[in-house]
Amino acid sequence: MSHFPNGFLWGGATAANQYEGGWNEGGRGPALTDVTTGGTVDSPRMVTWIDKYGSPHASPSHGFTLPEGASYAVLEDYYYPNHKGTDFYHHWKEDIGLFAEMGFKVFRMSISWSRLFPNGIEETPNPEGVEFYRNVFKELKAHGIEPLVTIWHFDTPLYLEEKMKGWNNRDLIDLYVRFAQTCFEEYKGLVKYWLTFNEINNTIMFLDMWGHEADNEEFRAAYQQLHYQFVASAKAVQVGHAIDPENRIGCMICGITFYPATCDPKDIMLNRHQWEKNIFYCGDVQCKGEYPVFSKRLWQEHDVELDITDEDRKILKEGTVDYYTFSYYMSNTITTHDVEEKAGGNNVEGARNPYLRYSDWGWGFDPLGLRYFLEVINDRYHKPIMIVENGLGAYDIVEEDGSIHDPFRIDYYREHIKEMDQAIAEGVDLIGYTTWGCIDLVSAGTGEMRKRYGFIYVDMDDKGEGTMKRTPKDSFYWYKKVIASNGNDL
Ligand code: BG6
Decide: 202 in ligand 1 pocket, CB within 6 A. Answer: no
Ligand 1 atom index nearest CA of 393: 15
The protein residue with its alpha carbon nearest to ligand 1, atom 4, reads: 444
Residue 308 in domain: yes
pLDDT value at residue 342: 78
pLDDT band at 142 (very low <50, low <70, confident <90, very high): very high
Side chain identity, residue 231 = V
Number of domains in the chain: 1
Give me the CATH number covering residue 308.
Answer: 3.20.20.80
Decide: 327 in ligand 1 pocket, CB within 6 A. Answer: yes
Which residue range is the domain that position 395 belongs to? 9-32+88-484
CB atoms within 10 A of CB 44: 21
Residue 46 in domain: no
In contact, 57 and 97? CB cutoff 8 Å: no
Active-site residue among 139, 162, 199, 448? 199
In the residue annotation, 199 being an active-site residue is answered as yes
| ipTM for the predicted complex | 0.98
Ligand 1 centre distance from Cα of residue 425 (Å): 29
Residue 159 in domain: yes
Sign of the CA dihedral running 109, 115, 117, 120: positive
In contact, 472 and 455? CB cutoff 8 Å: yes
Decide: 282 in ligand 1 pocket, CB within 6 A. Answer: no
Decide: 444 in ligand 1 pocket, CB within 6 A. Answer: yes
Decide: 15 in ligand 1 pocket, CB within 6 A. Answer: yes
Task: Work out the angle between the directed axes of helices 171-186 and 127-142 (0-180°, nearest 10).
Answer: 50
What is the spatial distance between Cα 284 and Cα 31, in angstroms, rounded to a whole number?
Answer: 29
Higher pLDDT, 348 or 93: 93
pLDDT value at residue 346: 60
Residue 41 in domain: no
Provide the whole-model pTM. 0.97
Q: Are strands 364-365 and 193-197 parallel, antiparallel or unpaired?
A: unpaired
Residue 43 in domain: no
Instruction: Please report, to the nearest 10 degrees, the dihedral formed by the alpha carbons of residues 274, 275, 279, 284 taken in order.
Output: -120
The protein residue with its alpha carbon nearest to ligand 1, atom 15, reads: 443
Residue 106 in domain: yes
In the residue annotation, 276 being an active-site residue is answered as no
Q: What pLDDT digit, counting tens, does each position of 385-439 carry?
A: 999 999 999 999 999 999 999 999 999 999 999 999 999 999 999 999 999 999 9
In contact, 224 and 305? CB cutoff 8 Å: no
Ligand 1 atom index nearest CA of 15: 8
The protein residue with its alpha carbon nearest to ligand 1, atom 10, reads: 444
Residue 76 in domain: no
Residue 334 in domain: yes
pLDDT value at residue 345: 62
